Amino acid sequence: MKKFWLVFKHEYLRHVLTKRFIFGILSVPFFVALSIGLGLLSVILSTDKRPVGIIDHSGVLADPVIYPEKRDGAIPFTTFLFFTDAKLAQVALDNREIQGYYVLEPDYLTTGEVSLTAVEASGPGSEGDFAALLRANLLKNQPTELRQRMLEGPEVTIHSVADSRSVSPDNILGLIMPIVAGILFVVAINISGGYLLQAVVEEKENRTMEIVLTSVSTDQLMAGKIMGNLSVGLTQLAIWLAAAVIGTLFYANLQSDAGSVVMIRSYLAVLALTFLPAFVMVSALMAMLGATATEAREAQQISGLFSIPIFMPLWFITSILEHPDSALAVGFSLFPLTSPLTLPVRVAISTVPAWQIGLSLAILVAAAFGAVWLASRAFRLGMLRYGKRLTLRELLRGAA
């Protein structure tokens, strides 16, 4: 058991302590934050903060209500300046004191016509604010509740028939989170698998295998390698998730109504139950590849056979989200390579029958056991065959 920990520690630290790993782990949240930051910065920088002029001949904006007086976000509500006639507004525009000016004609209420004069052909980017201002002032004499409803529109919440889960536009995170978390998990599985593949092939390539095998049992060696490399993937995942949570808290207020709590709980439970065997299955398959292939490059090429199906549900994600109970979605939930990404997403957005969850998990666990069996067999048969590939037939039939 002691040697298992030594192998575990060696496998874990040799990846985690490399510059490549640290760079890789930091680069994803860094580039995400950077691209969001740059996007926001460019919007802020490109926003013209000068006021916009209004000449009101219609009287709609006499004694105006400025609505909304303030709003959330990086871009403030446009400031409006009222001019008595167009000449004064034109002077202000010529002096670049204002972005442009709107003129409401006396018959605005009947025609709805408004003219805008601006330096740039595209006009100031404040049409929305001007329209909001007009609406607020047209409705200012209406009862508060009516005015509020007309200004804000309906807030639609979609309720699932079976339970209390709900997805509303405000709870969009509840919809995106399972997909994002699923992708992160699958990425972590692939990274771990990749490290494991590399670790096994490398020992064959650099001929360390025999020295190690005369020091530690194959079981302890394999277990240490699998757990060590899985932990590398989990470390990566934990750091990314932490970054995602911090990022989410920073940019949005997390909804904490009862529905989303129920959803997150059941989603997390299925996610955990799915990903544990998935992790073991993919790692064992990668270890098997490493043991059967003759060199790292060849093994990496073949590993696509496993990693492509794992990501395949993403190609059909729209269909899965729209029809979570379709034959395609159910099929993906049952096939062990596609279920890690499909099943948790389905559980998050719809009511999946218990038998499907049970069957899916059972198949996944069976596949994980099968993969470990194949991996240890491949390892024993293929570990000392330098330059000679182990065939599938030998793997299924041969004796160590």
| Alpha-carbon gap, residue 97 to 122, rounded angstroms | 18
Q: Closest approach of Cβ 216 to another protein, in Å?
A: 6
Q: Closest approach of Cβ 47 to another protein, in Å?
A: 50
For another protein, the binding residue among 150, 366, 384, 392 (CB under 8 A) is 384
Selection from 61, 152, 63, 55 nearest residue 105 by Cα: 55
53 DSSP β-pair partners = 81, 101
Taking a C-beta distance cutoff of 8 angstroms, is the pair 126, 60 a contact? no
Q: Closest approach of Cβ 208 to another protein, in Å?
A: 6
| Alpha-carbon gap, residue 91 to 384, rounded angstroms | 87
Q: Closest approach of Cβ 195 to another protein, in Å?
A: 13
Q: Confirm or reject binding of residue 392 to another protein (CB under 8 A).
A: no
Site for another protein in 306-365 (CB under 8 A): none
Q: Closest approach of Cβ 241 to another protein, in Å?
A: 28
Q: Closest approach of Cβ 179 to another protein, in Å?
A: 36
Q: Confirm or reject binding of residue 7 to another protein (CB under 8 A).
A: yes
| Alpha-carbon gap, residue 156 to 153, rounded angstroms | 9
Taking a C-beta distance cutoff of 8 angstroms, is the pair 206, 271 a contact? no
| Alpha-carbon gap, residue 218 to 373, rounded angstroms | 13
Q: Closest approach of Cβ 20 to another protein, in Å?
A: 10
- CB nearer another protein, residue 13 or residue 258: 13
Site for another protein in 106-135 (CB under 8 A): none
Report how many residues bind another protein under the rule CB under 8 A.
Answer: 22
- CB nearer another protein, residue 198 or residue 260: 198
* The pair of three-digit structure tokens given for residue 345, joined into one six-digit string: 């997403």
| Alpha-carbon gap, residue 17 to 11, rounded angstroms | 10
Q: Closest approach of Cβ 202 to another protein, in Å?
A: 7
Q: What is the DSSP string of 334-349?
A: HSTTTHHHHHHHHHHH
* The pair of three-digit structure tokens given for residue 98, joined into one six-digit string: 């204002």
Strands 158-159 and 166-167, sheet pairing: antiparallel
For another protein, the binding residue among 14, 50, 57, 135 (CB under 8 A) is 14
Q: What is the spatial order of strands in the sheet that 52-56 belongs to? A: 80-83, 52-56, 100-104, 114-118
Contacts of 379 (CB under 8 A, 6+ apart): 200, 218, 222, 287, 288, 291
- CB nearer another protein, residue 305 or residue 384: 384
- CB nearer another protein, residue 212 or residue 312: 212
Report the sign of the C-alpha dihedral through residues 40, 45, 49, 53, in that order. Answer: negative
Site for another protein in 263-282 (CB under 8 A): none
Q: Closest approach of Cβ 277 to another protein, in Å?
A: 29
Q: Closest approach of Cβ 312 to another protein, in Å?
A: 33
- CB nearer another protein, residue 296 or residue 334: 296
**101: left (phi > 0), else alpha (psi -120 to 50), else beta?**
beta
- CB nearer another protein, residue 50 or residue 385: 385
* The pair of three-digit structure tokens given for residue 219, joined into one six-digit string: 């079981």
Site for another protein in 203-262 (CB under 8 A): 205-208, 210-217
Q: Confirm or reject binding of residue 157 to another protein (CB under 8 A).
A: no
Q: Confirm or reject binding of residue 28 to another protein (CB under 8 A).
A: no
- CB nearer another protein, residue 18 or residue 148: 18
Q: Confirm or reject binding of residue 381 to another protein (CB under 8 A).
A: no
Taking a C-beta distance cutoff of 8 angstroms, is the pair 374, 284 a contact? yes
| Alpha-carbon gap, residue 161 to 167, rounded angstroms | 12
Q: Confirm or reject binding of residue 202 to another protein (CB under 8 A).
A: yes
Interface with another protein by CB under 8 A: which range of 5-13, 26-34, 180-188, 326-334? 5-13
- Which residues form the interface with another protein (CB under 8 A)? 3, 6-7, 10, 14, 18, 202, 205-208, 210-217, 384, 386, 400
